[in-house]
Structure 1
């Protein structure tokens, strides 16, 4: 047995007579029981095993063995729930499990159905879509995304180690063959750690032997609210190294998209499997709150709050960032405008810090103001810079984008002689030191072009 965590076992109809009290005496505190396979098989020992484990005090749950080329993920999820795969937040029920692994019927034909190769004859994209179909249906039926049980080698081979599954807790199977506390590699595309490790199929516990990667209290919280052990560990470690947060003022809580958070006197810590744990505090946190926290357009933080030598603050998020200076306040940076600003060197580039949030006009055009200009975007023109200077001043005098010139279609161009120009939907502006800035539009422009 590994020397950390909480021991558990998983069983199926192959273990018809489990001595549950003996398993408890050996240290097992949780159990998973096979409920179904495909949409054609149920474990006739399920009820006795499920109740027997609970009778001795174990937290128990059900698992479904997937045959993805047999029927859809949604179909098998419904079959699973109808045959024992439910969940309730009673603290004694583990979340349902999708057993997704090597094809046990590889290259076999049974009753006229060919089961395919080890990947079930399906592409990585097809298998990934199948998992999401199963997971989304389980969430709608039970309120929980399932745990994914898999083997790292098979997952990487057949699904291509994809990203985007970090909100599904991971149960990894790996048999080291000698006493060890190392489960080996996990599928790094979606996970940095596992919640459960199946370390043996030959004992010491009945069926397969497992360990929960955390404390018993964390296991109970996982059963009750879906909080992975990795979240507890990351939040605890970050809080210990961040005394400025003060004391905890809330329990560790589960949030949208598999995220986890804990509140403190001076901020909070947010964690997801893909972003890790990050602090949210101060003026940046206030601006994020105004956007709807993690449920808003920015998503979860991907960095801690950073403070530049000039006192400016910023924080990265899944879908953008927030920037603050004493003169500009806190501003959101997101989407196509952010991409164009990045191409200019972010806040160190010629535009400086944002002075407004991204604004969307009724026609779908977007813009954002900066210390030294602005960026404008439309579907037709793309993102174009309008830096402070004589060209921008002349455009302003024409009524900006609502004037006769419309939106910029190029950035400001500087000729070898120092002259500047910028194209617009309905003309252009030209400037030289001797002539000043002037609009070029309409039939006069056409003649000049000729």
Structure 2
């Protein structure tokens, strides 16, 4: 229902501002492509933190995945590159597990060290391997690998076009999208963006959402991992090998981050390049927090960041202008919700904690109203958003989401705490 309401609002904003790129299939397709590596990195962070290990090293593990994925991919094909990328990230996860689980190193220190190690090691290996011999002859260099063959893409015939054996399929969704009708064309644009030219690896990544939820919340293995993140000593008293569970979760975390890196060199771009991850590991952490340490919320947060990044990549100054009205309406709705929430809390205020909660609700109302009015005035007095602000949009979105979502978040209780078998609590 919430997704449907947001789509209706987006459609209304598109019609008012004549910004057809807001829900176009090209924007949706770009958003999905940009969101997948963020989502995979965030999924890696989710697995680690559900076991009680903070994984700041997602960025470094992604970097290891890009290099190993490209190194294997240009020689033996993209799918071997994907497997190699997973292995490269898993090795980074193993190193993080050894440091934090076995030796009790501070999680933040270990993660930062892995980020530095991943960056330095891949730069050294790129100059050593990609800049010599056959790799150099194929187009490699000190800062990039030879090209990697792309992974096969899927397009649904009839609905989204494409060709089958020389037969050019109709494109019903594309035709409906071009009509620019209210809501119908927007739904067609979104569906076409999800069904035209989708990489097989993107489909695999999307399937990891229900798979991760099933494993973590519906199996004994997932229950043991989550119990280690909530109370490892209680888990130990019930016979759970806490060290083993933490090792497994952090290695899986590294594997997901390596898969995110492999996605960058096989789908997003057909080769490894220095600095390719661009901080996506850290944005993945932000998406994980926004999703309240759950796969579904993580996917929603990743799509949000991917969407704003896609608007930036497509040069959507006019489209971002339309989003000013979209965000203003959402903030107004948030203010209304805060008023209702405050009216429910007020009769039950008895303690200092209740008074602080009520005060925070009033502060949220004031901030939401002022921000909504400011964006609405900006929308009325401008026609396009400057390109510099469009470039900053993904980062601004990250800050706003974390600020607005902070009150409803609850991380695992033992997250980041040092565990030693047999010690008293």
TM class by shorter chain equals: under 0.3
TM-score when normalising by structure 1: 0.19
Question: Higher strand share goes to which structure?
Answer: 1
Structure whose residues are more often helix by fraction: 2
TM-score in terms of structure 2 length: 0.20
When Rg is computed on C-alpha atoms for both structures, the one with the higher figure is 1
Higher relative contact order (CA 8 A, sep 6+): 2
